[in-house]
Chain A
Amino acid sequence: MRKCIVTVLGKDTVGIIAKVCTYLADNGINILDISQTIVQGYFNMMMIVDVTAKDQEFTVLCDELAKLGEEIGVSIHCQREEIFEKMHRL
């Protein structure tokens, strides 16, 4: 399994989760965990996803998600899990 962290940050609007999840589903990416909050009208979501089945280059996925974010009006980042794991786990 190859885990990635998708973060979505921005002004809350209808359908953010739906659009992100649709993109992931269309690309064969399984969602393992979602946490989401809204603080003062700001949407903040973190997903742990499994990109093993994704056959394209990982960097293409990052670009496409960033582009999707621009369309929705939020910022979407996709990063390999290791950067968080290394920093926060011994």
Chain B
Amino acid sequence: MKIDPIHQFNIEPLFTLGHIGNHTIAFTNSSLYMLIAVLLIALLMLASGRELVPGRLQSVAEISYEFIASTIRGNAGAEGMKFFPLVFSIFMFLCVSNLVGVIPYTFTIASHLIVTFAMALMVFLTVLIYGIYKNGLKFFKIFIPSGIPIYILPLVMFIEILSFFLRPVSHSVRLFANMLAGHIALKVFAGFVAMLGFSLGALGWVGGSLPLALTIALYALEILVAFLQAYVFAILTVIYLNDAIHPGH
């Protein structure tokens, strides 16, 4: 039994949609899971009831709503609610797709850097464009922390500017690397179980129980990570948006 922990990240075109320049645009398994995530979110948010006393599905929808709303209010103030649909979409898209991705034999959208980077860049550009549109040149005050002695200000400014422009990188790599590494680790440990069980007979079954236990523990951890990384991505989005709304801080 060959362990191939990378196979799960393969992009397989299901059918071709068209061409842009010399790129072939295909409907891939990734596209399928994006669609599944969107449909699941739509189902959760739209098919749940509107009762005064919510049922389970409605509670989940309302908890998601309140969760993101309170995160935004807490980190970016009431003005941040402008970006509620954006942050909510980001969080739900990542959370649902990550949780779907933990199910065996499925595909994890966020395990591809290009996807997370595109989302991080979207956030970065939203912050940059809205920040300049809203505050004009005052937006660049985010590079000048207050209370810094003048002689180290250039250095601090340099670091601030660098970190600002590296945000999309750190923002996207964090999510991508977590999902990728978690899934690889899970696959490797699960592979050990099968490898030991098939190759060593009865002894293998005993030996395989250790990686099995580890796989179960890792699986639980991956479920947590799937949610947590979506949340981290969303809360960083809110923090970055807060810079655009209140650049003085």
Pair from one complex = no
Give B contacts to A, CB under 8 Å: none
Interface residues of A (CB under 8 A from B): none
